Amino acid sequence: MKQLHKSSPTHAPSSAHAPAPKAAKLARPGPRSWIGYVLREQRLLFVLLGALIASTFFLLRPYLSLSPSYHLPDARPLFSFAARSGVPAGFRPPPRRVVVTGGAGFVGSHLVDRLLEQGVSVIVVDNFFTGRKENVAHHLRNPRFELLRHDVVEPILLEVDRIYHLACPASPVHYKYNPIKTIISFTSGSHRLILLTLKETCSDPIVLFSFCIFGGIGVRSCYDEGKRTAETLTMDYHRGGGVEVRIARIFNTYGPRMCLDDGRVVSNFVAQALRRQPMTVYGDGKQTRSFQYVSDLVAGLMALMESDHIGPFNLGNPGEFTMLELAQVVKETIDPMATIEFKPNTADDPHMRKPDITKAKQLLHWEPKVSLKEGLPLMVKDFRQRISDE
C-alpha cells in the first residue's frame, strides 16, 4: 500500500521569531550642511556682533573705571576673600599680600625684612639696576616671599592689598645714567595701571611713594621733578579715584646693603677708607647733610602706613654733619690714617639738607634713635665683608 507523503507547505517565519530589521545609518552632516546652517537666518552676523561687543567691553573696562559715573570711592570688589567682614565660617583668610617695588634695593630689602617678620606675604618687583638678589636671597625659601624681575616702567597686574613704591635710582651715579628713564620710573603708565589694578581687586589699597623734594632744571632735575610729579599724580588718584595713599619724603639714609660705589657720601667714604684710598670731598666740605640709619627709616615707614595720615612726611635725622665732620667720623671708625682729597663740587649740589620732622613726631610719634656713631660700624662690617670678596 502506497503511503502518500504530503509535503508540508513552506511557511514564513512568525513575526515573533523574525530578526529585527537593521536601523538605517543616519548620514552625518557634511561641511556644506554646517556652513549652510551658519549662513541661514543671519546666524554668522549675530556671532560676529557678540564677539565685537565682548571685545569692546574688555578693552574699555580700565578706562571706564576712571569715570566718576562708573566708579565710587568706597566701592569694593563683589567677591573678595581679603575683605574684613563676611568671611565664611571656618575659612581662614590668607595673610595680607603686599608688593614692594625696588624691594631688592638698599631700603626696600630692609623693609621686606620687617614685613616678613610681621607675617605678611611679600612680592618684590625689581629690575636689579641698583638692587641685588643677594639683598633678599635669605628669603628665597620663605613660602610667603616671591621675587619678580620686572621693570616698573612696563605695566604689571598684581592682586595685592598694598604697594610700597621704592623703585627709582636714588644716587647721582645711577639716576644720571639714564635721566629720561629715571623720570619715567616715577610717572610712567605702569603707575596708573597698578593703581587701577589695586582699586579693582583689593579691599584695602594703599600706595606709598618715598622721596624727598628739591626741584630745579639742572642735571639732577630728572630725579627731583620726577618725584614732584609723582606726588601730584598720587594725590590726584586719591582725590579723583578714591585710592588711599601715603607719601614719605626720605632723606639721606645709610646702612648695610648699600651699593659700594653709588656715589653717595657715606658709602663713598666707607668704601674708600676700607680700600685705603683718599676720601673724596667735593667743594669746600662745609655743605651739610643729615644721616639716618636704615632701621629708623623702616620704623618711620611702618608708622606711616599704619596711620590715618596721608602726608607728606619728612623721614630723616635732623642732626647735621658737614662733609668734613663725616669724614672725621669715618676715619675714627675705620682708619685714623685715612686721608682726604678735595675735588670741585658737582652741579646742583644742595648746600644744606636738614629735614623738619616736627609733623612726623607729632602725628606718627616717630623720630630716629640710632646715632651715626652707633650705626656706622654696622655698615662698615657689611662693607668690609663685601669688599674682601671682590
DSSP collapsed to 3 states, the chain? CCCCCCCCCCCCCCCCCCCCCCCCCCCCCCHHHHHHHHHHHHHHHHHHHHHHHHHHHHHHHHHHCCCHHHCCCCCCCCCCCCCCCCCCCCCCCCCCEEEEECCCCHHHHHHHHHHHHCCCEEEEEECCCCCCHHHCHHHCCCCCEEEEECCCCCCCCCCCCEEEECCCCCCHHHHCCCHHHHHHHHHCHHHHHHHHHHHHHCCCCEEEEECCCCCCCCCCHHHHHHHHHHHHHHHHHHHHHCCEEEEEEECCEECCCCCCCCCCHHHHHHHHHHCCCCEEEECCCCCEECCEEHHHHHHHHHHHHCCCCCCCEEECCCCCEEHHHHHHHHHHHCCCCCCEEEECCCCCCCCECCCCCHHHHHHHCCCCCCCHHHHHHHHHHHHHHHHHCC
Interval 95-113 mean pLDDT: 91
State which of 199, 217, 250 marks the end of a domain.
250
pLDDT tens for 45-97 read: 777 777 777 777 666 655 554 443 333 334 444 334 444 445 555 555 667 88
- Whether 270 and 375 map to the same domain: the answer is yes
Report which of 321, 310, 330 is spatially closest to residue 377, judged by C-alpha positions.
Answer: 330
The radius of gyration of the chain's CA atoms, rounded to the nearest angstrom, is 34
Active-site residue 223, yes or no?
A: yes
User: Do residues 155 and 276 both lie within one domain?
Assistant: no
Single out the residue of 346, 318, 326 nearest to residue 265, CA to CA.
Answer: 326
Position with higher pLDDT, 85 vs 347: 347
Q: Is pLDDT of 122 > 90?
A: yes
Domain of residue 332: give its range.
252-292+318-354+369-389
Spatial neighbors of 352 by CB under 8 A, at least 6 apart, are 287, 288, 320
Residue 313 falls inside a structural domain: no
Range 326-353 average pLDDT: 88
In a domain, 274, yes or no: yes
Rounded Cα–Cα distance for residues 40 and 328 (Å): 90
Q: Let me know whether 211 and 230 are in one domain.
A: yes
At 73 the pLDDT is 39
Average pLDDT over the chain, rounded to whole?
A: 77
Higher per-residue confidence, 148 vs 53 = 148
Domain termination residue (choose one: 250, 283, 306): 250
For residues 365 and 303, the answer to whether their CB atoms sit within 8 Å is yes
Per-residue pLDDT at 243: 78
| Residue among 164, 223, 254, 293 flagged as catalytic | 223
User: Predicted confidence band at 372 (pLDDT cuts at 50, 70, 90)?
Assistant: very high
> Rounded to two decimals, what is the model's pTM?
0.68
Confidence at residue 363, expressed as pLDDT on a 0 to 100 scale: 97
Which region among 141-150, 246-255, 370-379 has the lowest average model confidence (pLDDT)? Answer: 246-255
What count of residues does the chain have?
A: 390
- Say yes or no: 189 and 264 in one domain: no
Confidence of residue 34 (pLDDT cuts 50, 70, 90): low
Query: Are 131 and 215 in the same domain?
Result: yes
257 and 345 both lie in a single domain: yes
Q: Which of 210, 230, 223, 229 is nearest to 102 (CA)?
A: 210
Residue 45 inside a domain? The answer is no
- Which pLDDT score is estimated for 328? 94
Which CATH number fits the domain that encloses residue 123? 3.40.50.720
Query: For the chain, how many structural domains are there in total?
Result: 2
- Among the ranges given (177-181, 187-191, 253-257, 356-360), the one the predictor scored with the smallest mean pLDDT: 187-191
End residue of a domain, out of 250, 277, 307: 250
pLDDT score, position 152: 81
